[in-house]
Amino acid sequence: MKKIIIGNWKLNLDHLEAIQLLQKINYSLPESIEDNIEIVLSPSFTSIRSLQTVISSDKLKIKLSSQNVSQYSSGAYTGEISAAQLKKLEIEYAIVGHSERRTLFNEVDSVVNDKVNRLIDSDIVPIFCFGESIDERKSGTYLNFIENQIDEGLKGLRKDKVNKLVVAYEPIWAIGTGEVASLENIVEVLDYVKNIIKKKPFFNDDNIKFIYGGSVSPNNAEDILNSKIVDGALVGGASLDASKFIEIIKAVEL
Ligand code: PEP
């Protein structure tokens, strides 16, 4: 299975800065990498149209993701952006259930689940994020907590509709903190989650990628990304620096 590296730019860069960063990243990407690793960038909504224009006119292999999507399809929901609107911009992926949305914007599991379903209805691949807080880890309840997030967040998905899905383990204590989870932590959780998902009606052997996110950097990428169980990484801070992001991509053994 092709590994996937996703850069989550969060609330950074205007559309001109975003174009510059896309071009810097693309310039340094050897073709052998582009053909063997899926590279996805997740800019702010305001940059999507500009990046999409550059990608399609220059025929770049880099793909785009949004950082969020509305749980609603259309109607009187001021400020919301629908999955269908994103699809028109040739968005292939959308991050959903990121811990920053769950904790700072009160996105509960049922909202995350609605968003996942809207994305699937519009043929956009959800990058479904889940992961425990430091309290859940310390108290030893993290696997139960994660199982509940998976059950609730991925409810109602049907095999005939789920072409692809990315499932991202993002322990909250490792996001933006510089404290990366150990490979042992990552393997334990991804293995546990794979076993849960294998029993779901939408499971299909090669349509689901299981990835890790949380302070991935050039220093730790090699160990994480070359583990058999890890299909890729969601990269926040380091994706804003073209050379660090490229180093992370190059850490994947082809
Ligand atoms: C993220 O925002 O999904 C993330 C993993 O951030 P960072 O790499 O900065 O920890």
User: How many angstroms is it from 64 CA to the middle of ligand 1?
Assistant: 17
User: What percentage of the chain carries pLDDT values higher than 90?
Assistant: 92
Is the residue at 58 inside a domain?
no
CB contact set of 136 (below 8 Å; sequence gap of 6+): 142, 145
Expressed in angstroms and rounded, the spacing between residue 212 Cα and the centre of ligand 1 is 10
Q: Is residue 33 part of a domain?
A: no
Distance between Cα 75 and ligand 1 center (Å): 32
Predicted local distance difference test score (pLDDT) of residue 31: 82
Residue at 205 is within a domain: yes
Report the number of distinct structural domains present in the chain.
Answer: 1
77 domain-assigned = yes
Neighbours of 2 (CB within 10 A): 11
Supply the pLDDT for residue 192: 98
- pLDDT on residue 92: 98
Q: Which atom of ligand 1 is nearest to the CA of 95?
A: 3
Which residue positions in the chain have pLDDT lower than 50?
none
Residue 98 is a catalytic residue: yes
Task: Find residue 121's DSSP bridge partners.
Answer: none
Q: What residue's CA is closest to ligand 1, atom 3?
A: 236
CATH value at residue 177: 3.20.20.70
Whether residue 108 lies inside any domain: the answer is: yes
Structural domain harbouring 71: 3-8+65-237
Tokens for 15, please give them. Answer: 């559309």
Instruction: Indicate whether 26 belongs to any domain.
Output: no
DSSP tag of 64: E
Classify burial at 66, counting beta carbons within 10 Å of its beta carbon; exposed 0-12, middle 13-18, buried 19 or more: buried
Q: How far apart are CA 61 and CA 39, in angstroms?
A: 8
In tens, the pLDDT along 127-164 reads 999 999 999 999 999 999 999 999 999 999 987 788 89
**Set 100, 107, 136, 170: catalytic member:** 170
Q: What is the pLDDT of residues 178-190, one digit of tens each?
A: 999 999 999 999 9
Give residue 161's pLDDT.
81
pTM of the model: 0.97
Q: Is 19 part of a structural domain of the chain?
A: no
DSSP state of 67: S
In a domain, 122, yes or no: yes
CB 251 within 8 A of CB 36: no
Cβ of 216 less than 6 Å from ligand 1: yes
Is residue 99 a contact partner of residue 172, using CB atoms and an 8 Å limit? yes
